Amino acid sequence: MKAVILAAGEGKRMRPLTYERPKVMLPIAGKPLIEHLLEEVKEVGINDFIFVVGYHDETIRDYFGKGKRWGVTIQYVMQKTQLGTADALRRTEGLVEDKFLMLNGDTIVSTDDIEKVITEDVNITLGVIEVRNPEDYGVVETEGERITKIHEKIRKPPSNLINAGVYLLNESIFETLSKTAKSKRGELELTDSLQLLIEDGNGIFWKRIEHWIDVSYPWDLLAANELLIERISPVNKSELEENVWIKGKVSIGEGTVIKSGSYIEGPVVIGENCEIGPNSYIRANASIGAKCHIGNAVEIKNSIVMDGTKISHLSYVGDSVIGSRCNLGAGTKIANLRFDDAPVKAKGLDTGRRKFGVIISDGVKTGINACIDAGTVIGNNTLIGPGAFASGYIEENSRIF
């Protein structure tokens, strides 16, 4: 059996973090989102993958290659214009045989749940899960073991069961894909294709899954990171100077140096070729990428820091996502809590998080003693000057002094 993973989209709700990379390549617990998914699929014994790529496809191709590092084979199919999931799947016609697994690349499901779906002795099965906010997803109506109707993001959903983006399909789907019309959103949607099959009297079955991580908005990365970082295996390939304390599950990559006086409190992931400290405090749920420099007396807590970023001495980063190649000047402080203890808003939306710091995209620089308010979102290559205060939504290439 082959696995088709849809990975062509940008992830517009993830902006500005997706200006330079597709959503599926955003890092969680030290790995791109799609890598976590690949590893779960491989555990059920599937080693042949087809990645449907499009937006910034080179970042996926360069990272995964042909899949040799993971002991799998990966073929790539290009969807130049993102016209919807049905169009994406149609690109794989002729590459899959008989039954195959298809997944949305921007969600993570467990090996056990994947196995539930693919072992069904039927032609088409959907993995479904119950959620509190079904209006944000494709909702399914069921009767017994069968799905009777699929709705795509409606205001008053008839149930809390949603399509979790895990499909057991077969070659017959391709004929239906060719008959699928554009939706109101102007896309060719796989859910419409499946609804056509239902209306033609074809049985589509469902299987309830238990473990599902959906990442829709930038702050969802933190929730996903908190869940996945608990699964890491403690590995230490670093050079430790004297008086370094490591507590709990911590994974540190090769070539990294942890300088004297630093305290690391797991679960924590630190990538390769980093320099940490001296006297840094890396707290639980911190995920630090490769080639990062975390300076003297810096505290990082429950945050994702991407590759090549430097956070200079006497700075604080909490409950935040920091992009790649950023440089936070000495004394940069990030607020992560409102005075009234209400959930923090970002981009005009309720993050649902009482503690939430900032989203800083790639190439942002701050001067010494810069302060950034809770819920602030900062676009690529923005400069925030010494002593400046940043708040709200800040467009890319801005200058704040």
Does this model's pTM top 0.85?
yes
Task: Please indicate, yes or no, whether residues 209 and 319 belong to a single structural domain of this protein.
Answer: no
Same domain, 57 and 164: yes
Number of domains in the chain: 2
Q: What is the pLDDT of residue 122?
A: 67
Last residue of a domain, one of 216, 247, 269: 216
Expressed as residue numbers, the domain containing 115 is 2-216
Q: Note the pLDDT of residue 274.
A: 98
Residue 327 shares a structural domain with residue 178? no
**pLDDT for position 120:** 64
313 among known catalytic residues: yes
Mean pLDDT, 10 residues at a time, the chain of 401 residues: 94 94 96 96 96 96 96 96 89 90 92 88 84 83 86 78 90 86 80 86 86 91 95 94 96 97 97 97 98 97 98 97 98 95 93 96 98 97 97 96 92
Looking at residue 179, what is its pLDDT? 85
Scan for tokens 């992009």, then name that residue. Answer: 323
CB 9 within 8 A of CB 54: yes
Mark whether 149 and 267 lie in a shared domain.
no
Strand 393-394 relative to strand 377-378, pairing:
parallel
Q: How far apart are CA 38 and CA 56, in angstroms?
A: 19
Tell me the C-alpha distance between 267 and 230, whole Å: 6
Question: pLDDT value at position 70?
Answer: 96
Q: 189: helix, coil or strand? A: coil
| Beta bridge pairs of residue 24 | none
Are 347 and 377 spatial neighbours (Cβ–Cβ below 8 Å)? Answer: yes
Residues 319, 366 within the same domain: yes
Contacts of 320 (CB under 8 A, 6+ apart): 303, 304, 334, 336, 356, 357, 358, 359, 360
Give the separation between CA 258 and CA 276, rounded to whole angstroms: 5
Q: What pLDDT was estimated at residue 292?
A: 98
Which amino acid type is present at position 198? I
In a domain, 375, yes or no: yes
- Euclidean distance between CA atoms 291 and 194, whole angstroms: 45
Residues 146 and 264 both lie in one domain:
no
Long-range contacts of 272-275 (CB under 8 A, 24+ apart): 272/237
Got the DSSP string for 157-188?
A: -S-SEEEEEEEEEETTHHHHHTTPPP-TTSS-
**Annotated active-site residue in 36, 56, 151, 313:** 313
Tell me the C-alpha distance between 130 and 114, whole Å: 16
**What's the CATH code of the domain at 129?**
3.90.550.10
- Per-residue tokens: 93: 């016609």
Integer Cα distance of 84 and 182 in angstroms: 9
Domain membership flag for residue 225: no
Q: Is 14 helix (H, G, I), strand (E, B) or coil?
A: helix
In whole angstroms, what is the distance from residue 332 CA to residue 312 CA? 8
Task: For residue 289, give the CATH number of its domain.
Answer: 2.160.10.10
Bridge partner list, 52: 6, 77
Among 52, 64, 58, 127, which Cα is nearest to 93's? 52
Whether residue 264 sits in one domain with residue 129: no
Query: So what's the pLDDT on residue 151?
Result: 82
Smallest CA-to-CA distance from 114 within 31, 207, 35 is with 207
Residue 223 lies in a domain: no
| Residues whose CB is less than 8 angstroms from the CB of residue 27 and which lie 6 or more positions away in sequence, other chains included | 33, 287, 289, 304, 306
Instruction: In whole angstroms, give the CA distance from residue 41 to residue 35.
Output: 10
**Residues 96 and 239 occupy one common structural domain:** no
Do 158 and 242 lie in one domain? The reply is no
Q: Let me know if residue 224 belongs to a domain.
A: no
Residues 181 and 296 in one domain: no
Got the DSSP string for 62-96? HHHTTSGGGT-EEEEEE-SS---HHHHHHTTTTT-
Query: What is the token pair recorded at 215?
Result: 């990442």
Distance CA 291, CA 271 (A): 7
Where does a domain end: 160, 184, 216?
Answer: 216
What is the Cα 12 distance to its own chain's centre? 13
Domain boundary residue among 188, 216, 244? 216
Please indicate, yes or no, whether residues 341 and 252 belong to a single structural domain of this protein: yes
Calpha distance 351→374 (Å, rounded):
11
* Whether residue 58 sits in one domain with residue 189: yes
Q: What is the pLDDT of residue 229?
A: 96
